[in-house]
Amino acid sequence: MAIESGTRYPVSVESYVQTLKGYLAIQRTLLDKELFVERHPHSFLIQTSHPYPDEVKGRSRFVTQIDENHAEQGKNRSPSGDILTSWVFPIVSCDTQRFEGIVSVGRTTSNDIVIDYPVISKLHAHFSRSPGMNDCILTDANSANRTIVNGVSLEPRQSRELNDGDLVAFGVFEFAYHTASGFFDLLEKLR
């Protein structure tokens, strides 16, 4: 089973990444949870922090989500400190991805989710889903600077099943993981 139930995005997810505020607007048009999950059958990562040390501003950034203007804004929780401006990554494969059912995270543009930052490995980690499972499996791809789930580092090549609300970090970049259903519930609380 493909991780995003057959939904494939062209070239990069860059144009599909938006803020929680943007997803709130979508959710308002799809008031029914079942319809929202049908239209967004994949899981999500919500940015909870993005460090931008002064020495790397302007040359390293989230390629799939943050432009230079966002890099100049705050360092914790979200670019402006407001949870509604937190970036949301759909966990989906791009058409350029070679492996069916795998969503890769890493520094190079051949990954589905690109974090162009020195502490991120070329291929840092990947998401997958086994048939019959509701949640994703996150696997560290022998990264140099660790993949962390709920404060516990994964060993190289170790996999861990994710549950809705788990906290995930790739190096110094932190995210909250949500299933489509859990993400809808979160949006309901933020309305």
Give residue-wise pLDDT tens across range 106-123: 998 888 888 888 889 999
Return the higher-pLDDT residue of 45 and 28.
45
Residue 1 in domain? no
pLDDT at residue number 1: 27
* 105: DSSP letter: E
Which residue, among 5, 18, 1, 3, has the nearest Cα to 126 in the 3D structure?
3
Return the higher-pLDDT residue of 146 and 84.
146
Which residue, among 174, 73, 66, has the nearest Cα to 120 in the 3D structure?
174
Residue 33 in domain? yes
Strands 147-149 and 167-170: antiparallel
pLDDT at residue number 16: 53
Which residue, among 128, 135, 162, has the nearest Cα to 1 in the 3D structure?
128
Contact 113, 13 (CB under 8 A): yes
pLDDT grade for 4, boundaries at 50, 70 and 90 = very low
- pLDDT tens readout for residues 126-135: 999 866 666 6
Residue 2 in domain? no
Residue range of the domain that includes 114? 14-190
Return the higher-pLDDT residue of 59 and 117.
117
d(CA 166, CA 152): 11
The CATH number linked to 94 is: 2.60.200.20
How many domains is the chain partitioned into structurally? 1
Q: How confident is the model over 43-50, as a mean pLDDT?
A: 85
Residue 8 in domain? no
Residue 3 in domain? no
Return the higher-pLDDT residue of 5 and 82.
82
Return the higher-pLDDT residue of 42 and 28.
42
Residue 134 in domain? yes
- pLDDT tens readout for residues 5-17: 333 333 334 445 6
Return the higher-pLDDT residue of 82 and 23.
23
If you average pLDDT over every residue of the chain, what do you get? Answer: 75
Q: Kindly tell me the sign of the dihedral angle through the C-alpha atoms of 27, 37, 165, 99.
A: negative
b/e sequence 124-135, b meaning 16+ C-beta within 10 Å:
bbbbbbeeeeeb
Q: How confident is the model over 164-179, as a mean pLDDT?
A: 94
Q: List C-alpha distances in Å: 31 to 37, 124, 167, 184.
A: 11, 36, 27, 10
